[in-house]
Structure 1
Amino acid sequence: MIRTEREYRQAKERVAQHEKLLEEQTKTLESMGLTEEEIERALSPARFFGQKLRLEVEEYERYRRGDFDMTCTFDNIGRQLVAFRIFRGISQAELARRLGVTPPQVSRDERNEYGGASMEKVKQVLRALEMDVILVPSEGRRAAGS
């Protein structure tokens, strides 16, 4: 998951470099007389990597536009907190300042998608981001008897 503008810019550059490299590799394999099927088989892992990177870039761009669901589950709240920060245009350093913690702490929390964070911590982050959400139980984990 891309979490910062710097990571976003680097990922976009890697996508461009990766596409250029794939194009060069395709020409090299064609010049060796390989069939289309052989070329596709040879480049399939690299294409998969490139697609994964493009999807991460697209995800970050969706978050910046606010294209996400405001309903959170206990399973996705950490990822949503990162998305909300990106949407608000707030850096990790600024969020750290608002929370009264260090930027490396916010970076660790986001890298771990707030795993193990208390509900109080989640509420503090939401307040710092000025976001209101609906928190619902995770699908498939209904309370006994319901």
Structure 2
Amino acid sequence: MIRSNSQYKKAKEKLKEFDSLIEKEISLLKDEGRHPVEIEMSANLMSAQRDKLSLEAAEYEELLNCKEIAISSMREFPKAIVKARIKAGYTQGDLAKKIEIAEQQIQRYEIQDYNKANLERVVQIVDALDMNVSIILKPQTEARVIHLKPTIISQEKLDQKKDEISKEGLLMSIGE
């Protein structure tokens, strides 16, 4: 996840360079006489890295223009706080100054997904970002329970069923 404007700018620069780097890598591997499959795998790996970076940059751009940040689970809340900071236009340093703590503490919170931050601190951060939070608690979908009734079947009926199934070609005998 891109967490700052400077990271975004670096990502955009890397994206501009990526295609030529991929071409250079392919050319180098061909010159070394590498197997075509190895060359293709290397190109695919680099393309995947480029695509991941491109998605992160697009997510950052979208975040700057969105009206709200929706999450479907409390597990997503830490990332939502980071997104809210970015949306509000604050750097980690700006946010730290606003709530009067060290910038390194905000960095630690974000790296650790706010696991070490107490609820009071999280509320203070959300308030400093001037964000409203709406939470709806609802039960998770209920698991379906299937009740199985044991059936007692005679050996004769069991043998009949086996014969019927094997005639249809669905049963293979093992060890007989």
TM over 0.5: yes
The amino acid of 1:13's aligned partner reads: E
* Distance verdict in 2 for CA 1:8–1:85, change over 3 Å: same
How many aligned residue pairs are there? 141
Q: Which moved more, 1:129-138 or 1:103-112?
A: 129-138
* Distance verdict in 2 for CA 1:139–1:50, change over 3 Å: farther
Query: In structure 1, what is the equivalent of residue 131 of structure 2?
Result: 131
RMSD: 2.8
Normalised TM-score (structure 2)? 0.67
Percent identity over the alignment is 28
* Distance verdict in 2 for CA 1:136–1:117, change over 3 Å: farther
The amino acid of 2:51's aligned partner reads: Q
How far is 1:3 from its partner?
A: 0.6
Consecutive unaligned residues of structure 2, counting only runs of 5 or more, are 143-176
- Secondary structure of the structure 2 residue equivalent to 1:135: coil
Query: In structure 1, what is the equivalent of residue 78 of structure 2?
Result: 78
- Secondary structure of the structure 2 residue equivalent to 1:69: coil
Larger Rg: 2
The structure with higher relative contact order (CA 8 Å, sep 6+) is 1
Deviation digits for residues 105-128 of structure 1 (CA, Å, limit 9, x no counterpart): 111111222124322222111100
How far is 1:7 from its partner?
A: 1.0
Query: In structure 2, what is the equivalent of residue 112 of structure 1?
Result: 112
Higher strand share: 1
Distance 2:74 2:118 in 1: 11
